[in-house]
Structure 1
Amino acid sequence: MTARRTIVSQSEIKRTLQAALSAGLRIGRVEVDHATGRVVVFPEGAAPQAAGPDPDELLK
Structure 2
Amino acid sequence: MNRPAPFRQADLSRALKAWRSAGLELGRVEIEPSGKIVMTPRRGESDPVNGYPNEWDDTLQ
Per the shorter chain, which TM-score range? 0.5 to 0.7
How far has the Cα of 1:26 moved from its partner? Answer: 0.3
| Cα distance in 2, alignment partners of residues 7 and 40 from structure 1 | 14
What is the distance in 2 between the residues matched to 1:11 and 1:27?
18
* Structure 2 stretches lacking a partner, 5+ long: 44-48, 52-61
Aligned length: 46
> Which structure has the bigger radius of gyration?
1
Which 4+ residue blocks in structure 1 deviate beyond 2 angstroms? none
Q: Return the structure number with greater relative CO, CA threshold 8 A, min gap 6.
A: 1
Gaps of 5+ in 1: 49-60
Partner in structure 1 of residue 28 of structure 2: 29
Give the TM-score taking structure 2 as reference length.
0.64
Percent identity of the aligned residues? 35
